[in-house]
């Protein structure tokens, strides 16, 4: 209680004082408060929540199972949007509404999963590059730069094609997830390395080292909290990019034919898109808004977590 | 300029590991798909033994993979990328495909820069106004757009329904659009160009707006305003110069990402450039062609990023000295 009155006299603006009284202002509470003020970021947050809700509930929400051509047998293939088929049906008999719902699950799985793989690899390589000195550090930095420069999409397409020849079935979306993750870690590793080099030279870290803090104490108390914020921002934007790439991969026909994704539905709608426009339109819109949501949250987070922009 | 020379040398040396990395990766993985000769024999009814023997010798099939890679590397130093499954030398095709791809990429990049910079500056000048909100959301949509899908939507509207523009390809085959051959090429270029420009424009507008906002907060802008300089002079003569430098770095990056993304857009428009041909070659597992196209794309990326870095180093001495 005493502490709060103290803060009141120090606090620069009225709003901060009110907030401090309500709860102890941890780093995350402050960030969330700043994030909430950003309307666009908040909109993105709700878009993402909506998509995750659909991804979790799609088996119950969707009227048809994934990759089901049942509408063909009901004599309703190639029909425009109606009450029974809100997004219409494709010429082959797919219910586009069900496919979009099931695709949400597949695409979020790839987008989020690949990002987690990238974070794991990028953290390890970035940390090693930041902590080692001399040749080892140079080699790791060069490795990151090679992965940053190479044309990712062509290589991923090639890997996906070759794996589909070698391992005919059963790999599916997880293969795409692993490929995207393994190729996409370079930005994360740059950030981690840069932050380590910056943070370990800061005065207070030097001071705690001088006071006898061990290497691990410094890593957990100082380095990780500092790395976390830029990594979270990059990861959010990376999810958006991974979803886009996954849609491109399955659109080009290099994805998994047995799983519903937005890209594959677009691809299957191309042939008759003049008359049956609904087949490519709705999965594309789903992609657009999913990517938009993650981009909005990424931008909002980078504003909220960036201490230099604090007013 | 001693610093500049060492910078260029260092930068050129960096290209070697990138090139080796990409070529080894592509070479190994595409050869993992199967025996190149077995792939060629697919679809042929009978192959005479002497032809088979010649193919074996040509691909050095009895040697281990790394020896084959070294042979390939030796050939590429003599501008020989091998022969595709169909028998034509890969290098013969490359020139035309690279030009077709650049015909789309370069005008899009130029248009995006020319349009994007003024819009970004305007948006920053009028921060939080209605037009700023409009521009920012317009850019955000472009940033989040699946490029190929936007292309498909435009094809549905403008060519399949309205019939104003051709729906794919780089030149008319059955029908020549708008009279002359040149006009026909323009007609085919318009839609893919618009799509690509919009998507790249978004990046430049966002970046330019952000840079400009940051620069406008600087003390020297305040000082020049306090000196009574005209707002136009402050913005265009003093602020813009500093805000525009980071754009140069994005130039190469943006070109690179749009080149790497070319397979999707070019397939949507049947645009016979490198990306489209890469998809075709990958589907038919045409190993020399796959490796050839990947290497050419990588070289283009490296040249673009080299040029960008050099221009940046000329503009900003901290880069070449640091």
Q: In whole angstroms, what is the distance from residue B131 CA to residue B143 CA?
A: 18
Dig out the tokens for B273 from the structure.
Answer: 């450039």
- pLDDT confidence of residue A9: 44
* Burial of A105 from C-beta contacts in 10 A (0-12 / 13-18 / 19+): buried
pLDDT interval class at A195 (50, 70, 90): confident
The answer to whether B103 touches B170, Cβ cutoff 8 Å, is yes
Q: With CB atoms and an 8 Å threshold, state whether A295 touches B298.
A: no
Tokens of B257: 């990402």
Which pair of structure tokens corresponds to residue B121? 């500056």
Best mutation target, A140, A150, A155, A293, to test chain B (most B CBs within 10 A) = A150
Facing residues of B83 across strands?
A: B89
Give the per-residue pLDDT at A309. 52
pLDDT digits (tens, 9 = 90+) for B214-264: 888 888 888 888 888 888 888 888 888 888 888 887 888 888 888 888 899
Closest CA to A40 of A236, A309, A303, A307: A303
Q: Are B301 and A149 in contact (CB under 8 A)?
A: yes
Structure tokens at B59: 């691909």
Shortest Cα–Cα distance, B259 to chain A (Å): 8
Contact B178/B187 with Cβ under 8 angstroms? yes
Distance (Å, whole) CA A115 – CA A236: 8
- DSSP per-residue letters across B159-218: IIIS--S-SSSSS-SSS-TTSSHHHHHHHHHHHHHHHHHHHHHHHHHHHHHHHHHHHHTS
pLDDT at A170: 52
Q: In this structure, what token pair is assigned to residue B256?
A: 């690179």
Tell me the pLDDT band of B1, cut-offs 50, 70 and 90: low
Nearest CA in chain B to A44: B140
CA–CA distance, B122 with B108 (Å, rounded to integer): 21
Cα–Cα–Cα angle for B318, A185, A267, nearest 5°? 120
Q: Give the span between the Cα atoms of A137 and B94, in whole angstroms.
A: 38
Residue B42: the pLDDT is 65
> What are the φ/ψ torsions at residue A89 (nearest 5 degrees)?
-130, 150
- Of A112-116, A247-251, B25-29, least confident by mean pLDDT is B25-29
Tokens of A173: 């979306």
Helices (H) and strands (E) in chain A, counts: 15, 0
* Dist CA B170 CA B173 (whole Å): 9
Instruction: Yes or no: say if B104 and B185 are a contact pair by the CB < 8 Å rule.
Output: no
The closest CB to that of B140, out of A154, A162, A292, belongs to: A292
Name the minimum distance, in Å, from the CA of B145 to any CA of chain A: 5
Strand, coil or helix: A260: coil
pTM: predicted TM-score of the whole model, two decimal places: 0.87
Question: Model confidence over B88-109: pLDDT tens digits?
Answer: 888 888 888 999 999 999 999 9
pLDDT at A20 over 70: no
Asked whether B262 and B275 are in contact (CB, 8 A), the reply is yes
pLDDT in tens, A50-98: 999 999 998 888 888 888 888 778 877 778 888 888 888 888 888 889 8
**pLDDT of A49 strictly over 90:** yes
**What is the Cα–Cα distance from B147 to A247, expressed in whole angstroms?**
11
What does the alpha-carbon distance between residue A257 and residue A169 come to, in Å, rounded to a whole number?
Answer: 10
The number of angstroms, rounded, from the C-alpha of A289 to the middle of its chain's C-alpha atoms is: 13
Instruction: Say if residues A177 and A113 touch (Cβ distance below 8 Å).
Output: yes
Hey, what are B83's tokens?
């022969």
Mutate to test the interface with B, among A41, A158, A275, A279 (most CBs of B within 10 A): A158
Confidence of residue A1 (pLDDT cuts 50, 70, 90): very low
Instruction: Read off the pLDDT of residues B158-189 as tens digits, 9 standing for 90 and up.
Output: 988 888 888 877 776 777 777 777 778 888 88
Instruction: Give per-residue burial for A7-35: e unless 16+ CB within 10 Å, then b.
Output: eeeeeeeeebeeebeeeeeeeeebbebbb
Q: How far apart are CA A42 and CA A35, in angstroms?
A: 7
Angstrom distances, CA of residue B32 to CA of A105, A162, A165, B22, B293: 31, 7, 10, 15, 18
Q: Residue B41: pLDDT above 70?
A: no
Nearest C-alpha of chain B: how many angstroms from A310? Answer: 13
Q: What is the reported pLDDT for A121?
A: 94
**What pLDDT band is residue B322 in, cutting at 50, 70 and 90?**
low
pLDDT at B195: 93
Q: What's the CA gap between B121 and A158, in Å, rounded?
A: 41
Best CA proximity match to A188, nearest among A151, A248, A236: A236
- Write the CA distances from B46 to B49, B57, B287, integer angstroms: 9, 19, 21
Residue with tokens 């209605």: B130
In chain A, what are the domains?
Answer: 48-304 (1.10.3720.10)
Is A161's Cβ below 8 Å from some Cβ in B? yes
Cβ-contact A294, A236 below 8 angstroms:
yes
- Name the band, by pLDDT with cuts 50, 70 and 90, for residue A308: low
Contact B203, B254 (CB under 8 A): yes
Highest-scoring range by mean pLDDT, A131-135, A165-169, B212-216: B212-216
Q: How far apart are CA B171 and CA B186, in angstroms?
A: 9
The answer to whether the beta carbons of residues A112 and A184 sit under 8 Å apart is no
- Per-residue pLDDT at A2: 42
Predicted pLDDT at B319: 66
ipTM: 0.87
**A157 closest CA partner among A147, A165, A149:** A165
**Residue spans of alpha helices (H) in A38-93:** 39-61, 70-73
Q: What is the Cα–Cα distance from B196 to A100, expressed in whole angstroms? A: 26
Q: What are phi and psi of A70, to 5 degrees?
A: -60, -30
CA distances from A98 to A88, A93, B76 (A): 10, 12, 50
* Residue from A182, A52, A179, A174 nearest A119 by CA: A182
Nearest CB among A151, A248, A288 relative to B298 is that of A151
Per-residue pLDDT at A118: 95
Q: Which of B264, B292, B296 to mutate to test the interface with A (most CBs of A within 10 A)?
A: B264
pLDDT above 70 covers a percentage of chain B that reads 94
Q: Which of A165-179, A262-276, B177-191, B303-317 has the lowest mean pLDDT?
A: A165-179
- Please name the member of A151, A166, A240 whose beta carbon is closest to the beta carbon of B297: A151
Rounded to the nearest angstrom, the gap between the alpha carbon of residue B191 and the centroid of all alpha carbons in its chain is 17
Place of tokens 């997830």: A177
Q: With beta carbons under 8 A apart, name residues in chain B contacting A155.
A: 22, 25-26, 294
Which H or E run contains A141?
helix A135-149
Task: Classify each residue of A43-75 as buried b or exposed e, where b means 16 or more C-beta atoms within 10 Å of its C-beta.
Answer: ebbebbeebeebbeebeeebebebebebbbeee
Mean pLDDT of B129-134: 90
Percent of chain A with pLDDT over 90: 27
Interface check A273 vs B, CB under 8 A: yes
User: Is A307's pLDDT higher than 70?
Assistant: no
């Amino acid at each position: 209680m005493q502490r709060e009155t103290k803060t009141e006299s120090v606090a620069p603006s009225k709003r901060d004082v009110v907030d401090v009284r309500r709860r102890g202002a941890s780093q995350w509470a402050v960030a969330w408060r700043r994030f909430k003020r950003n309307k666009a970021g908040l909109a993105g947050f709700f878009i993402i929540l909506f998509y995750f809700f659909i991804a979790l509930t799609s088996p119950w929400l969707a009227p048809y199972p994934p990759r089901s051509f049942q509408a063909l047998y009901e004599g309703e293939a190639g029909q425009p949007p109606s009450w029974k088929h809100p997004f219409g049906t494709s010429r082959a008999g797919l219910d586009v509404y069900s496919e979009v719902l099931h695709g949400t699950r597949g695409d979020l799985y790839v987008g989020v999963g690949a990002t987690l793989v990238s974070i794991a690899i990028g953290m390890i390589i970035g940390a090693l590059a930041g902590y080692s000195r001399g040749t080892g550090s140079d080699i790791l930095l060069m490795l990151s730069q090679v992965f940053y420069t190479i044309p990712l999409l062509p290589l991923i397409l090639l890997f996906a094609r070759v794996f589909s020849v070698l391992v005919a079935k059963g790999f599916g979306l997880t293969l795409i997830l692993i490929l995207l993750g393994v190729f996409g870690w370079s930005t994360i590793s740059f950030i981690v390395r840069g932050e380590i080099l910056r943070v370990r030279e800061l005065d207070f870290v030097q001071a705690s080292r001088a006071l006898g803090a061990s290497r691990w104490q410094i890593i957990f108390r100082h380095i990780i909290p500092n790395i976390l914020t830029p990594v979270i921002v990059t990861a959010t934007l990376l999810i958006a990019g991974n979803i886009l790439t996954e849609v491109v991969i399955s659109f080009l026909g290099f994805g998994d034919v047995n799983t519903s994704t937005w890209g594959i539905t677009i691809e299957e709608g191309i042939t008759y898109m003049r008359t049956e426009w609904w087949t490519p339109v709705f999965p594309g819109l789903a992609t657009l808004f999913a990517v938009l949501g993650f981009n909005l949250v990424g931008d909002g987070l980078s504003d909220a977590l960036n201490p230099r922009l604090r007013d | 300029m001693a610093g500049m020379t060492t910078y260029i040398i260092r930068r050129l040396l960096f290209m070697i590991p990138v090139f080796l990395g990409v070529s080894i990766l592509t070479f190994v993985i595409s050869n993992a798909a199967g025996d190149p000769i077995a792939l060629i024999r697919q679809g042929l009814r009978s192959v005479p033994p002497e032809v088979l023997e010649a193919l074996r010798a040509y691909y050095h099939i009895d040697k281990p993979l790394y020896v084959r890679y070294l042979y390939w590397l030796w050939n590429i130093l003599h501008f020989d990328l091998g022969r595709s499954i169909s028998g034509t030398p890969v290098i013969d095709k490359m020139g035309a495909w690279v030009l077709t791809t650049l015909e789309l990429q370069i005008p899009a990049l130029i248009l995006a820069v020319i349009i994007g910079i003024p819009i970004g500056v305007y948006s920053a000048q009028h921060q939080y106004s209605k037009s700023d909100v409009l521009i920012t959301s317009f850019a955000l949509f472009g940033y989040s757009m699946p490029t190929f899908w936007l292309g498909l939507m435009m094809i549905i509207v403008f060519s399949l329904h309205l019939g104003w523009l051709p729906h794919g390809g780089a030149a008319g085959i059955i029908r020549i659009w708008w009279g002359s051959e040149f006009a026909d090429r323009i007609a085919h270029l318009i839609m893919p160009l618009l799509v690509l420009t919009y998507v790249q424009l978004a990046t430049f507008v966002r970046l330019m707006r952000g840079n400009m906002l940051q620069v406008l907060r600087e003390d020297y802008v305040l000082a020049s305003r306090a000196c009574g300089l005209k707002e136009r002079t402050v913005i265009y003569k003093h602020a813009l110069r500093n805000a525009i430098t980071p754009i140069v770095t994005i130039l190469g990056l943006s070109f690179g990402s749009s080149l790497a993304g070319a397979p999707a857009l070019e397939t949507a428009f049947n645009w016979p450039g490198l990306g489209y041909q890469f998809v075709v070659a990958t589907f038919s597992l045409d190993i020399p062609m796959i490796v050839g196209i990947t290497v050419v794309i990588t070289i283009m990326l490296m040249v673009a990023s080299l040029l960008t870095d050099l221009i940046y180093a000329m503009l900003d001495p901290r880069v070449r000295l640091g």
